[in-house]
Amino acid sequence: MTDLMLSWVDSANSAETPFPLNNLPYGVFSVEDGALHCGVAIGDRIIDVTGLEAAGVLRADAVADVLDAPNWNDFMELGPKVWADYRARMQAMLAADADEATQDALTKYSVPMADATLHMPIQVAEYTDF
């Protein structure tokens, strides 16, 4: 079993949370305005990575906005090296030892999971059912 990585997001440090810093699932969510955003779950919150990308806080690609779509398809096309780098940078930004400016930036782009509606994170194409 992997040791629990500690985060400055208190709810992520609970033994009962399904979303500790070790497990940052990608998803798509909306809040009352209805716009779909890509997000990363941590504890009882969702980090709006579409907002982080638009603000230049955290980008997956240096050239193109890949998280401004209502799904993770463009991000997934970037491949495993980019995925691993992005996850490592996200974990560092959410780690307990992240600086205050980083914490403030991510807090600005986070929403309570209880206030969000979840949506399909990937646009599925060419599905075949046997």
- pLDDT tens, residue by residue, 83-99: 999 999 999 999 999 99
Q: What is the pLDDT of residue 106?
A: 97
- Domains in the chain: ranges and CATH: 10-113 (2.30.30.230)
Whole-number pLDDT of residue 23: 94
Q: Where are the alpha helices (DSSP H) in the chain?
A: 49-55, 73-76, 80-94, 100-108
Evaluate if residue 2 carries a pLDDT over 80: no
What is the pLDDT, as a whole number, of residue 3? Answer: 78
Q: What is the percentage of the chain residues whose pLDDT exceeds 70?
A: 97
Residue 58 CB-density burial (10 A; 0-12 exposed, 13-18 middle, 19+ buried): buried
Sign of CA dihedral 111, 112, 117, 119: positive
For the entire predicted model, the pTM comes to 0.91
1 pLDDT above the threshold of 60? no
Give the confidence band of 108 by pLDDT, cuts at 50, 70, 90. very high
What digits encode the pLDDT tens for the residues 43-80?
999 999 999 999 999 999 888 899 999 999 999 999 99
